[in-house]
Amino acid sequence: MANPLIRRYQYPLLRPPQVWIYGIIYLSAVALILIVNLMFFAKETILVNEEPWKLFRNLHIQFAIFQFILLWILAPYNVSTVISGEMLQKSYDFTRLLPLSARQKIAGIVMGRNLVIFFMAAVNFLFFLAFGLAGQLSLPILAEWVLFLLSISLLFCLLALLMSMHPTKKRGNFFVPMLALIFCFGFPYFLIVLHESFEGKTANVLFYCWQIPSLLLISGFALYFAGWASLGGLRWFTKEYDPLFSPLGAIVFLVLYLVLVLGLFYPYFLSQRSMESYPERIFFGFWMFGLIAVGLLPVGARKTYEKYLEMSRLCSPSKLSVCWLLRRSNLMLAAVLYLLWVCFCSYACWFGPIPISLFLVFAAVMGTFFCVLILLFETSITLSPVYPKLGYLTGFLFILYLFLPYILAALFEIDFLTAFSPLGYFNYAYEHYKEGMPVSPAILNIFFCLMPGRLVLLRYSQIVTMRKGLSSDSPLTVAAS
Amino acid sequence: MQVLQTQRLRKEFGPLVAVQDVSFSVEQGQVMGLIGPNGAGKTTLLRMLATLLPPTDGTAVICGADLYRQPLEIRKRIGYLPDFFNLYNDLTVFECLDFSARAYGVPEKKIADRIDRVLECVDLTDKKDILCRHLSRGMVQRIGLAFLMVHDPDLYLLDEPASGLDPIARISLRNILKRLSGEGKTVLISSHVLSELSGFCTHIAIMDKGVIKKFGSVEQIQAMLNPERIVRVVVLDEPQKAVSLLQSFPDAVLKDCSGNTLRLTFTKGPETIARLNALLVSEGVQVIELTEEKKDLEDLFVAISSEEESLPHSFANAGS
């Protein structure tokens, strides 16, 4: 076995005293499915003369659910427990120090930890395909199903690994929130697809101008995100204290993400031209999807205070300044991401009936909300070494900023007050865009930016002063200069 | 050949400076004891050297690889034993060592032989097929060392390997460390129990409040400790006769005298002490004890720890 980590998991998983237990559980489950279905079928045949292909299709669906449990729940769960378990056991330092490449570590953990699960899933796929074919399902539909199950499983496994692996925090098992996520977003769709599968068809979705089977499209999206999750894993296994996204990575992710989302909205933009009432509202959906990414990416790509110190260490003291730091800061990245979103959405406006000026006003005001939030975030990052609990305060302010306008609006019965919250503004603009976008919240936001902005600049200045003091005769700095 | 060299290595945790501009070097074959009280920064320093913690500033070259640019290269060539650890509880001792050997690229053909040798070295051959979770603390500590030894690293970084062990386990661990030292391995070992390190360390660094306060070979440290020889002489009777004889002896100064015990300061080598002994005996003084008083590491450690001012540069020369 080329990957030592796979072999490491192979030892405890495949010990003869426990392999037979896994075997019996699996065989019992399969036998139970077969026996119960056969009994039901025998009963139904007597009552309503059921056709045999329906039995096979039923079995096919039940094996799909079996795969769902194995590949979407158990496999990611196993992966999510590896690092948290080792941290708890205090053996993680040994794993961290193993001179294996990040790729070997990811493959070793995902494959090694799930050797038994994947073996069962492989056998299950045989049943799944055999019963599907016997149930008169076409081969392309079955292939789409296999791709769908595998790609989502890969995504979940990689996400589970990523969520469990940051070394600076002793994290617990993140599988419970992940399970909730799976059930909220995955399971309802899975049931719809199952139902369609039972009918022997899959729905097609328009992506730009192409009709693509929905399973294939979802698999594509899952693989896209899985690709990024694996890049994140590679990054955290090699540069453990770096942010999940490099600045360039965050930009590329956003651009590709917007291209993908635009592909989903594009047909609607075109069809909205012919609609009479509120044709522009579909654009808000596109804007919202983009804004979600723009809001989350700076969190994933955040540089910590230690990272700022490390960056500034590599800069020659003569070049090091607040401007230098600002150009490489979280603020600058957030601004670039926001501008990218504005450019993309402006471009998308050409496809539909929405005036670009309307969007630009909306984007400008939303930009001031974004500034406040990002400055709060940066304040928390840069000052947390001095005030370790500052995150609680900024978190509280963040919640206040989101929801206080709603409370005030309800209290004074003035609907417009909700526009002073970022969420409320989006909603207000969505409801009232025909009357023009309100701009007054921007003034208040600029005022809100002053204090955190000043604190952040002051902190940058302190970093510069401290680094210059520290590195006055540091050999490394001399080399860099 | 230098196996480890640090330059102004520094680690800050917010306002706390855990390691403050530490510079030292370790040559191949040296066994360096890193001594300091709890919270001195020993673990932080070792974790930085093991590439587990990024330094705030400074640099280090370990086995020819740069700490920042080549961490994977460093990981291949070091063996780091954390202060509190467990091995993989779901594996047997053999599986654990086999995994280490494979992960560190030991050739397949040599693995079994290497494991046998290492198990013999740590005296756990009979525990080969026992699950790691069933081992005692002392055995886990020894298996931890075996886990490192199996890939034969160039540099061992051992963080308080004897903490929490009973006296027998300590002796056993000490023997393994002596053996490593005897094989010419480079070892950096931390401890706050000084007696653990005496006997096999070639160099000592004393660390406190993030600063290395004294660094040098054991001889240098001894010289720092004992700039003058103090000899204690106990006579059976007639201490006044001994005192008068000593006062006429040119190379010794009487420090104090209480009862039958005299303490003298010598400025010259051990032959002077032998001459004094001969003089006393020839003059009929019945000497029942003549010993040189030496301060041990503990005395030095206490003395240095109580110093108010740090001496960041005093060690730099000694280390080079």
Confidence of residue A35 (pLDDT cuts 50, 70, 90): very high
Residues in chain A: 481
Query: Residue B223: its pLDDT value, please?
Result: 72
Q: Which residue of A has its CA nearest to B72?
A: A99
In this complex, is the C-beta atom of A288 within 8 Å of any C-beta atom belonging to chain B?
Answer: no
Between chains, do B103 and A5 touch, taking CB under 8 Å as contact? yes
Q: In terms of residue numbers, what domain contains B242?
A: 227-293
CA distance A396 to B18: 31
Q: Is B95's CB within 8 Å of A474's CB?
A: no
A313 close to B (CB below 8 A): yes
For residue range B48-83, list pLDDT tens digits in order.
Answer: 999 999 888 888 999 999 998 898 899 999 999 998
Report the candidate in B156, B99, B146 with the shortest Cα–Cα distance to residue B122: B146
Put simply, the answer to whether B57 touches A241 (Cβ < 8 Å) is no
B86–A313: do the CB atoms touch at under 8 Å? no
Chain A environment of B92 (Cβ under 8 Å): 11
* C-beta atoms of A91 and B85 within 8 A: yes
Residue type, A380: S
Pairwise CA distance, residues A466 & A37, whole Å: 73
- List helix spans (H) across chain B: 42-49, 71-77, 93-103, 108-121, 137-149, 167-182, 194-197, 218-225, 239-248, 270-282, 297-305, 314-319
Please check whether residues B170 and B70 belong to one and the same domain: yes
User: In sequence order, what are the residues at sequence separation of 6 or more whose Cβ sits closer than 8 angstroms to the Cβ of residue A435?
Assistant: none
- Residue of B46, B56, B102 for testing the chain A interface, max A β-carbons within 10 Å: B102
Q: What φ, ψ does residue A233 adopt, rounded to 5°?
A: -65, -45
Q: Are residues B204 and B153 in the same domain?
A: yes
B18 shares its domain with B149: yes
d(CA A197, CA A191): 10
**Residue B308 sits in the same domain as residue B234:** no
**Within chain B, which residues score under 70 in pLDDT?**
193-196, 198-199, 222, 225-226, 295-301, 303-320
Task: Verify whether the Cβ–Cβ distance A4 to B54 is below 8 Å.
Answer: no
Chain B residues with CB inside 8 Å of A90's CB? 82, 84-86
Smallest CA–CA separation between B215 and chain A, in Å?
21
Does the beta-carbon distance from B91 to A306 stay under 8 Å? no
CB-based contacts of B262, cutoff 8 Å, min separation 6: B232, B233, B234, B235, B239, B242, B243, B246, B254, B256
Question: Contact, B191 vs B160, CB < 8 A?
Answer: yes
Contact list, B57 vs chain A (CB under 8 Å): 309, 313, 470-471, 474, 476
Please report the residues numbered 95 through 124 in chain B whose beta carbons come closer than 8 angstroms to any beta carbon of chain A: 95, 98-100, 102-105
User: According to the model, what pLDDT value does residue A475 have?
Assistant: 42
Same domain membership, residue B153 and residue B56: yes
Q: What is the average pLDDT across A403-417? A: 93
Query: Which residues of chain B make contact with A475, given a CB cutoff of 8 A?
Result: 7-8, 59
Distance in Å, alpha carbon of A100 to nearest chain B alpha carbon: 7
Please give the share of chain A, as a percent, with pLDDT higher than 90: 55
Phi, psi of B59 (to 5 degrees): -145, 170
Domain count, chain B: 2
Check CB contact of A360 with chain B, cutoff 8 Å: no
Which pLDDT belongs to residue A310?
A: 81
Q: Does B128 touch chain A (CB under 8 A)?
A: no
pLDDT at A227 over 70: yes
Residue of A nearest to B98 (CA): A8
**Residues A141-171 pLDDT 10s:** 899 999 999 999 999 999 989 888 765 555 5
For residues A263-283, give the mean pLDDT: 73
Indicate the residue of A89, A97, A474 with minimum beta-carbon distance to B58.
A474
pTM: 0.83
Q: Which residue of B has its CA nearest to A239?
A: B71
Claim to verify: residue B186 and residue B58 sit in the same structural domain: yes
**Residue-averaged pLDDT of chain A:** 87
The C-alpha of B212 sits at a distance from chain A's nearest C-alpha, in angstroms, of 18
Whether the predicted pLDDT of A248 surpasses 90: yes
Average pLDDT (A374-401) is 93
Q: How far is B172 from chain A (nearest CA, A)?
A: 23
Same domain, B67 and B157: yes
Which of A8, A388, A475 comes nearest B14 by C-beta? A388
Read off the pLDDT band of A31 (50, 70, 90).
Answer: very high
In angstroms, rounded to a whole number, what is the distance separating the alpha carbons of residues B155 and A162?
A: 32
Q: Compute and round to an integer the Cα radius of gyration of chain A.
A: 27
Facing B103 at nearest CB: one of A4, A93, A475: A4
The pLDDT value given to residue A479: 32
DSSP B144: H
Report how far residue B316's alpha carbon sits from residue B23's, in angstroms, rounded to the nearest whole number: 7
B43 and B64 fall within a common domain: yes
Average pLDDT of the segment spanning A85-108: 91
Confidence of residue A441 (pLDDT cuts 50, 70, 90): very high
Q: Does A97 touch chain B (CB under 8 A)?
A: yes
Q: What is the pLDDT of residue B320?
A: 31
Q: In chain A, which residue's Cα lies nearest the Cα of B144?
A: A94
Is A472 or A75 the better-scoring residue by pLDDT? A75
Do B97 and B241 belong to one domain?
Answer: no
Q: Is A478 on the interface with B (CB under 8 A)?
A: no
pLDDT score, position B304:
67
The whole-number average pLDDT for the span A196-207 is 76
CB B210 within 8 A of CB B19: yes
pLDDT on residue B303 = 67
Residue A175's pLDDT band (cuts 50, 70, 90): low
Give yes or no: residues B39 and B169 share one domain. yes
CATH of the domain at B232: 3.30.70.250
Predicted local distance difference test score (pLDDT) of residue A276:
54
Interface test with A, best of B7, B12, B128 (most A CBs within 10 A): B12
At B11, which amino acid appears? K
pLDDT of residue A12: 92
- Residues A298-331 as b/e (b if ≥16 CB within 10 A, e otherwise) read beebbbbbbbbbbbbbebebeebbbeebeebbbb
Read off the CATH number of the domain in which B153 is found: 3.40.50.300
Q: Are residues B167 and B92 in the same domain?
A: yes
Q: In whole angstroms, give the CA distance from residue A77 to residue A59.
A: 26
SS3 state of residue B75: helix
For residue B52, the chain A residues in CB contact (below 8 A) are 93, 96-97
pLDDT band of A192, cuts 50, 70, 90:
confident
Question: Residue B90's closest chain A neighbor by CA?
Answer: A12
Co-location of B231 and B257 in the same domain = yes
